[in-house]
Structure 1
Amino acid sequence: MDRRRFLSAAAGLALVGATATPGHAAKPKTLRVALLPDENAAAIIQSAQPFKAYLEQALGRPVEIIVTTDYSSMIEAMRFHRIEVAYFGPLSYVLAKSKAPAIEPFAVGLSKGSPTYRSVIVALADGPVKTIGDIKGKTFGFGDDASTSSHLIPRAYLARHGLVASADYRFVHLGAHDAVARAVQGGQVQAGGLSKAIFDSLVAKGSIDGAKIKVLAESDPIPNYPMVMQGDLDSDLKMAIKKAFLDLKDREILKTFRADGFVTTGDSAYDILRETAKVLSLDLTKIKG
């Protein structure tokens, strides 16, 4: 990544980490758009440059791409109006909505024509974990505490198969999805959970050796990542932002979101996450964020 892009990424990280809340405007001169930190932040910033250019042209104003240090920082940035638009994971959106009720999900990515995606549980191909039952007594790697496909869903899957966190297996939170895959490949954890799309991407790029890691299980469909905006933005700007995403057809830009396109969504699409948390007796107010 060149120096200019590095400075842009660093500035974004500094912005959301600041304690002072910048003045909020219904028609901001620069639109701040946050992308979920589910992989390396520098790589996300770099790959998002074509998307930035597209959005600037569509909206007629500068766009700043931000990648926060973690999910919690992104939720707080949305809560305190340090960003106007954010690409949340399903669970991190639910957590953000609980703290900032006025925010609005307006578009969701399509994967192979469906507004859903899946989580996978992976293990070393030649390691001690051959089946889901073998995870008992082992160490499992989750991603961020507020991650859907790298925490909530794999944790629920294990619970449905009689494996309760802390009681039946140890676990660690490793942050980003790619960190989970690398920890499994490196033997730091015996199994882990992450987004299937991210896992497939890591294998395709050669970041992870597909011959060394096997998929033990795949989840049921999960509502895909929503695009979310501040609810008190100018109505014309809100319509323009939504239109820009719904009209987005460039395949290279869509790779930023691991999507084939966007369609309209709403808050009720994510009730399944709230229900899953209740089944696990997880208090969403106590999850980081």
Structure 2
Amino acid sequence: MRILKKSKILLAMLALLVLPLGLAACGNSKTASSKSFTPKKLTVEFVPSANAGTIEAKAKPLEGLLSKELGIPVKVNVSTDYNTIVEAMGSKKVDVGFLPPDAYVLAHKQYKAKVLLQAERYGYEGTTDNQTKKLVNFYRSQILVRKDSGIKSIEDLKGKKIAVQDTTSTAGWIYPAVEMLNKGVNINKNNIKTVQVKGHDQGVLSVYNKNTDAAFVFQGARSLVKKDDPDVMSKVVPIYTTDKIPNDTITVRGDMSSKWQKKISAAFKKIAKTKKGHDIISSVYSHEGYTDSKDSNFDIIREYDKKAEKLNK
């Protein structure tokens, strides 16, 4: 009788131990299923690399092209900065973002956003703005100055005024700032003043018009203003070109279902191969096409982000 009583007590204790595990498993199952998002409409957002009003108008037809491929309504919006897109994806107000590498890394870290594609662009001959016919999945940042400024090197930027993009911009802030630091010049110190501008074309123009001494822009940005200012190529010149930067991404919110990740990837790749679709992505972001991507492609960005933390020390 005593052994039987002890056995009953033991079984009761085991049941109490197993019960929380079973409840946890049920909870996890519910959580897992709730993480798979199937859109009934799609919101796409991007930050223009040049004149916002003009680019937004050019991007609007992308709504119809994507809607046709996906079979649901699509809304394409322009945002003021990448932080806004990242936060909107985190709060599930934006489903797809055109994110540069650093903004993608932030979105992935904070909200488990998933990279689908990387843009392909034509490469450049050395440090010039002369494009090759070879498609590549990387680009570079440059530090531009006026040719008549007397600024010849990074060391000469001490005490100067530099036009930059927001702090999540890989080409407009992270890469050039870190590579300057590697050469002993801290953009947050050394008596340097930064001026944030909206768009890489505005960075070029700030130097061209002598409003700033230098600008951080992506390689090829001078071509954005060449039509209105044909002499920009001779008056504004690069003094430094960074290492390779992974190209911009097409990123989706973290709970997007795997089925829809594949559908969205396929839609963007197909659209990029049509004349109308190619004209849109080329005019909006200088994208020539898209290639599959993965998170590990951006480990180099994480390394630069760690180095960037030293700018404030």
Give yes or no for TM over 0.5. yes
Equivalent residue, structure 2, for 1:74: 85
Code of the residue aligned with 1:47 in structure 2: it is K
SS of 1:130's equivalent in the other structure is coil
Give distance in 1, aligned partners of 2:95 and 2:310: 29
Q: Which of 156, 167, 170 is matched with 2:193 structurally?
A: 170
> Shift in Å at residue 199 of structure 1?
3.3
Give me the whole-angstrom Cα distance separating, in 2, the residues matched to 1:205 and 1:258: 18
The separation in 1 between residues aligned to 2:120 and 2:227, in whole angstroms, is 20
Structure 2 match to 1:105: 115
Structure 1 residues 244, 206: CA separation in 2 closer, same or farther (over 3 Å shift)?
farther
Deviations 1:75-134 (A, max 9, x none): 111110111100001111111222202x11000011222110111110112223233332
What is the distance in 2 between the residues matched to 1:41 and 1:241?
A: 25
* 1-structure distance, mates of 2:230, 2:86: 28
Amino acid at match of 1:252: D
One-letter amino acid matched to 1:69: T
Structure 1 position 282, deviation (Å): 4.9
Conservation of the 8 A alpha-carbon contact between 2:63 and 2:75: yes
1:145-156 to structure 2, matched below 5 A, reads 145-156=167-178
Alignment-derived partner of residue 40 in structure 2: 29
The answer to whether the Cα contact below 8 Å between 1:246 and 1:264 also exists between their aligned partners in 2 is no
Give 1:225's aligned residue. Answer: 248
State the TM-score, normalized to the length of structure 1: 0.82
- Call closer, same or farther: CA 1:266–1:205 in 2, change over 3 Å: farther
**Superposed displacement of residue 197, structure 1:** 3.5
1:86 alignment counterpart: 97
Q: Larger helix proportion, structure 1 or 2?
A: 2
- Greater C-alpha Rg: 2
| Native 8 Å contact 1:143 1:179 kept in 2 | no
Cα-to-partner distance string for 1:10-37 (whole Å, 9 max, x where unaligned):
xxxxxxxxxxxxxx99333321001124
Whether the aligned pair in 1 keeps the contact of 2:163 and 2:215 (CA below 8 Å) is yes
Gaps in structure 2 of 5+ consecutive residues: 1-34, 123-134
**Alignment check: 8 A CA contact 1:181 1:208 kept:** no
Let me know the Cα RMSD of the aligned residues: 2.3
What's the secondary structure of 2:240's corresponding residue?
Answer: strand
Separation in structure 2 between the aligned mates of residue 206 and residue 49 of structure 1, nearest angstrom: 27
Write the distance in 2 (CA, Å) between the matches of 1:236 and 1:76.
24
Is residue 249 of structure 1 aligned with residue 273 of structure 2? yes
Q: Secondary structure at the match of 1:193?
A: strand
Unaligned runs of 5+ in 1: 1-23
Q: Which amino acid in 2 is paired with 1:70? A: D
* Paired residue type of 2:195: V
Of 252-261 and 197-206, the range deviating more from structure 2: 197-206
